Chains A and B, each alone.
Chain A
Amino acid sequence: MRAYIARRIFGMLPTLALISIIIFVVIQLPPGDIVTSTLDRLQAEGVEVSNDQIQNLRAQYNLDQPMVFQYLHWIGGFVVGDMGYSYLYSRPVNELVWERLGYTLLITVSALIFTWAIAIPAGIYSAVRQYSIGDYLLTTVMLFGLATPSFLLALIVMYIGYEWFGITIGGLFSPEYRDVPWSLDRVSDFLGHLWIPMVVVGLSGTASTMRILRANLLDELNKPYVVTARAKGVRPIKLLIKYPLRIAINPFISTIGLLLPVLISGEAIVSIVLGLPTTGPALIQALINQDMYLAGSFLMLLAILTVIGMLLSDLLLAWSDPRIRYE
């Protein structure tokens, strides 16, 4: 097993090297660079910039060096854990990424728990009571959920919050707590804000999770192995959980690994609408402004988390299904 994991991780390296080159090239592809986009901004504000200053800026950002040098400079730093400097935010990329990754992780995980807490019981109920009124009701509600884009849901929640309760929803902190050090009050303020992205992001996956679970479970409910188990005296609730549900849930276990890349790319639109300090909006800003170090590092992390997530999925699947484990 350990040898297998080592082999898989080693096998990822060439893939990641290739991806890093592609990322670098793609970010450089659009005309202009961080300096030109900075100049555009300055000129729009009426600031005159001399040619000398432009040259200085270029030298400062290594933009006067050959492409290969720029690539090696970036990836060399990345490999040793230094992701460079963000011109856009005027901060080291490391700081920016870890801070935003933390919030994103919290939102993603809590949203996933929210999704499963609703979708799994609903899916089980719908399958066990197929074609009952409850099943139709849940199906209808879930279809509405499926048809509502999450950014729209975010807008609705904000509107209701503001109009009916007079609270401004947005961000993860109230203004007075935004830039102060962590304290008990700040944590409770944070939790008070966290539930909104949790619900908005979580609901978007609920409908599909429930429908998939319902379909999987319906496939399993009348399988011979379930009848056998029932015939030997297994009590109804244990029967449901240990036999058909255990198999019906298998496909979901393997999707946990696929959540890793979502930590970087996921839910950017909702985050922008709700003003969340997560990775998604920062990635988009970095790409628009050709902030090479920030955008490149984000994309590189995305690639790494994707391949690790795939490995994790395979391991989880093998762990949960002996038929795969022994191949």
Chain B
Amino acid sequence: MTDNILEIRDLAVQFKTDFGVTRALNGISFELPRGKVTAVVGESGSGKSVTANAIMRLINPPGKIASGNLIFSPDGGTPFDIIALKETDPRLVQIRGDLISMVFQEPMTALSPVYSVGNQVAEAILCHRHITKQQAWREAAEMLVRVGIDDISRRIHQYPFEFSGGMRQRVVIAMALVCNPELLICDEPTTALDVTIQAEILTLILNLQQELNNSVLFITHDLGVVAQTADQVIVMYQGRVLEIGSVRQILKAPLHPYTRGLLAAIPALAKKGQRLETIASVVGDEDIETPYPLTRLKDGRQISLSPQALERIINE
């Protein structure tokens, strides 16, 4: 029995659009082990952000959580279902910023343009703890220094537009970590940044995770990043989970044809001299559209395949 900080059970999210109901998540299930980094990979539109937003109850109309459970087990506290929380439940405020926090994809727009960064980071503290403003600003400054903002006594009074994209993402990370959350969700935190900055931010997040020892849900569509960050990998496609395994299993010996396709399409991981494959050419005519249930294999990984394909794999 592993110790999981979050268990996602049959989570389904729908969006009402002019063309009918879009099923963004079709009953996904997976666990986040405590103190570990779980990566979620998948092409864009596969439901990664919707999963992250659902965990923090940030799905707005026209979207709604149609069914499922999100069992959150705070360290030493009683587990509770995030989805069952009423709007007035104080635990709802706790899971937003105190127990769970999120780093978003777009550092350029993730901060309000009219408040100083100090104000916005300190506010994250003041939402959850009854301390003085001065104390909150002091702690905000400490955290900002920790994420690599120099010249803090001047910078803390500056506005987001006075920071570069990479620096803004550092501010957002500081804002997410300043209450020392048990679960940190990173939704493609480096996608919008220059390639040169991406590695820096990634290293920063990983170092802080080591220091603070929180659990991390790391969303990306970049399998190269997964190799550096994750313990466990979840592969998503069209609002479903196709494969779950350790980082070694998924990257070294992927079983699902879709996962293989993803890997083959990545330049750094494709063997030298090999032609880059499109996902479709690897997947071939394998049926990945039918939502087969996840089956757990002997080596612990879980996979969604047709019974025939499963049999073939087990016999191999």
Contacts and interface: CB of A to CB of B under 8 A. Distances in A.
A228 B172 contact: yes
A223 B114 CA distance: 14
Interface string B83-107: 0000000000110111001101010
B113 A232 contact: no
Given A224-B104, A323-B161, A234 B127 contact: yes
B123 interface: yes
B111 A225 contact: yes
Q: In the complex, which of the residues A228, A230, A234 has the most CB atoms of chain B within 10 Å of its own CB atom?
A: A228
A243 B101 CA distance: 19
Q: Which of B98, B101, B112, B161 has the most CB of A within 10 A?
A: B112
B82 interface: no
Contact of B97 (A223, A232, A247): A232
Contacts of A228: 102, 104, 110-111, 172, 175
A228 B176 CA distance: 9
A231 B113 contact: no
B159 interface: yes
B93 A223 contact: no
B109 interface: yes
Interface in B103-153: 104, 106, 109-115, 120, 123-124, 127-128
A233 B58 contact: no
Contacts of A222: 60
Contacts of B109: 223-225
A315 interface: no
Per DSSP, chain A at the interface is helix
A232 B159 contact: no
A320 B176 CA distance: 27
A301 B111 CA distance: 43
B56 interface: yes
Given A222-B60, A223-B109, A326-B162, A233 B114 contact: no
Contacts of A322: 113-114, 159, 161
B123 A234 contact: yes
A230 B96 contact: yes
A243 B112 contact: yes
Contacts of A64: none
Given A231-B56, A232-B101, A232-B127, A321 B114 contact: yes
Contact of A225 (B58, B101, B110): B110
Give the interface centre of A320, A322, A326 by most chain B CB atoms within 10 Å: A322
Nearest to A322: B159
| Range for the number of chain A residues in contact with chain B | 20 to 34
A233 B124 CA distance: 7
A320 B96 CA distance: 29
A35 interface: no
A246 B114 contact: yes
B106 A224 contact: yes
Given A231-B97, A322-B159, A247 B112 contact: yes
A235 interface: yes
Most chain B CB atoms below 10 A, which of A222, A225, A326: A225
Nearest to B99: A233
B104 A227 contact: yes
Interface string A240-260: 001100110000000000000
Interface in A268-327: 320-323, 326
A157 interface: no
B167 to A, nearest CB: 16
A248 to B, nearest CB: 11
A262 interface: no
A42 to B, nearest CB: 63
A247 B94 CA distance: 27
A233 B96 contact: yes
Contacts of B115: 242
Contacts of A321: 113-114
A19 interface: no
A200 B109 CA distance: 42
Contacts of A224: 104, 106, 109-110
A233 B162 contact: no
Given A228-B111, A233-B97, A322-B159, 9 more contacts: A225-B112, A229-B112, A229-B123, A231-B101, A232-B101, A232-B123, A232-B127, A243-B112, A322-B161
Q: What 6 pairs between A and B have smallest CB-CB spacing?
A: A233-B97, A233-B127, A232-B97, A232-B124, A224-B109, A233-B96
